[in-house]
């Protein structure tokens, strides 16, 4: 679990008619490719806060860092499709320095296939179907269709909503709910938000557990094991 949960925290070509809960009409269709722009040179920077709970070591570790994701080139993948190389850089928080004085170092390389019907992203060798087109509120699909993690229903909770992330204002934001399961001893809540012209602007993951059941006390207040992760846009542009 832990960090791998984040990437397994963030894909298949799915026909819209076979995966939607309802049928889109011409009046309600929003194609939506602008939610995942593919211009080479585009970058997005994020602040990341992560809390890891470990019931074996009885520790709670907090991590703060900054991530930069940049689209660097197009290439042909092993299935003959056009793909995008995504370079991911990281800088760790240092209380004695400003983030601007700390250089980025390359962390890993991801890839994406952006096609007419969906966006597939390979994160840490796991392929997810992040978005499907047309974008429409209430539509669901299997985000794990091209991996071995088991079927997982993703849903557009809302689209074209105005939101602000670290002083950056966006008029068109959508939210994808990837998982929302809760029992007396666990909670799994995974969401992502995308903004037109920027792409991913927010990611939140709660994957937490507690064997101590206390009536009326939510799992968040008695966590023994798991991870809470937030990734929020601070800047974006082109280089």
pTM for the structure as a whole: 0.86
pLDDT of 209: 96
Lowest mean per-residue pLDDT among 9-18, 42-51, 103-112, 207-216: 9-18
Q: Predicted confidence band at 4 (pLDDT cuts at 50, 70, 90)? A: very low
Q: What is the mean pLDDT of residues 1-29?
A: 37
Show me where the domains of the chain are located: 3-238
pLDDT confidence bin for 48, thresholds 50/70/90: very high
- Residue 76 pLDDT class (50, 70, 90 cuts): very high
Q: What share of the chain is helix, strand, coil (3-state, %, to 5)?
A: 10, 55, 35
Contact (Cβ atoms closer than 8 angstroms) between residue 87 and residue 106: yes
Q: For residue 201, what pLDDT is reported?
A: 98
Q: What pairs with residue 48 in β-bridges?
A: 65, 231
The pLDDT of residue 11: 31
Whether 218 has a pLDDT exceeding 80, the answer reads: yes
Those residues with Cβ within 8 angstroms of residue 96's Cβ, 6 or more apart along the chain or in another chain: none
- 22 preceded by cis ω (within 30°)? no
Cα–Cα dist 139/14, whole Å: 13
As a whole number, mean pLDDT of residues 40-49 equals 98
**Domain 3-238, what architecture?**
Beta Barrel (2.40)
Is 143's pLDDT higher than 80?
A: yes
Distance CA 153, CA 42 (A): 29
pLDDT of residue 21 exceeding 70, the answer is: no
CA-CA distance, 110 to 125, in Å (whole number)?
8
CA distance 126 to 7: 8
Q: What's the confidence (pLDDT) of residue 216? A: 87
Residue 99 and residue 235 in contact, taking contact as beta carbons nearer than 8 Å: no
Among 5-14, 28-37, 208-217, the range with the most confident prediction by mean pLDDT is 208-217
Determine the pLDDT at residue 212: 86
Question: Which of 223, 208, 206 has its CA nearest to residue 9?
Answer: 206
pLDDT of residue 18: 35
Task: Check residues 145 and 29 and name the one with the higher pLDDT.
Answer: 145
Q: Higher model confidence: residue 216 or residue 127?
A: 127
pLDDT at 31: 77
67 near 52, Cβ under 8 Å? no
CA distance 11 to 124: 13
Mean of per-residue pLDDT scores for the chain: 89
Q: How far apart are CA 144 and CA 140, in angstroms?
A: 12
């Amino acid at each position: 679990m832990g960090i791998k949960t984040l990437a397994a925290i963030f894909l298949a070509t799915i026909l819209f008619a076979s995966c939607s809960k309802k049928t889109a009409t011409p009046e309600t269709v929003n194609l939506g490719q602008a939610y995942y722009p593919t211009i080479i040179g585009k970058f997005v920077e994020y602040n990341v806060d992560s809390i890891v709970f470990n019931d074996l070591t009885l520790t709670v570790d907090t991590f703060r860092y900054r991530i930069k994701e940049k689209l660097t080139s197009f290439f042909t993948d092993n299935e003959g499709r056009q793909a995008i190389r995504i370079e991911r850089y990281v800088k760790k928080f240092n209380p004695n320095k400003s983030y601007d004085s700390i250089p980025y170092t390359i962390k890993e390389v991801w890839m994406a296939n952006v096609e007419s019907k969906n966006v597939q992203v390979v994160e840490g060798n796991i392929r997810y179907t992040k978005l499907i087109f047309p974008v429409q509120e209430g539509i669901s699909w299997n985000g794990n269709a091209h991996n071995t993690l088991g079927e997982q229903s993703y849903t557009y909770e809302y689209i074209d909503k105005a939101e602000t992330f670290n002083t950056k204002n966006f008029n068109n934001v959508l939210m994808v709910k990837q998982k929302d399961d809760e029992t007396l001893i666990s909670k799994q809540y995974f969401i992502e938000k995308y903004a037109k012209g920027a792409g991913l602007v927010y990611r939140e993951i709660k994957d937490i557990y507690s064997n101590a059941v206390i009536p009326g006390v939510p799992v968040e207040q008695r966590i023994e094991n798991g991870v809470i992760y937030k990734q929020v846009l601070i800047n974006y542009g082109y280089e």
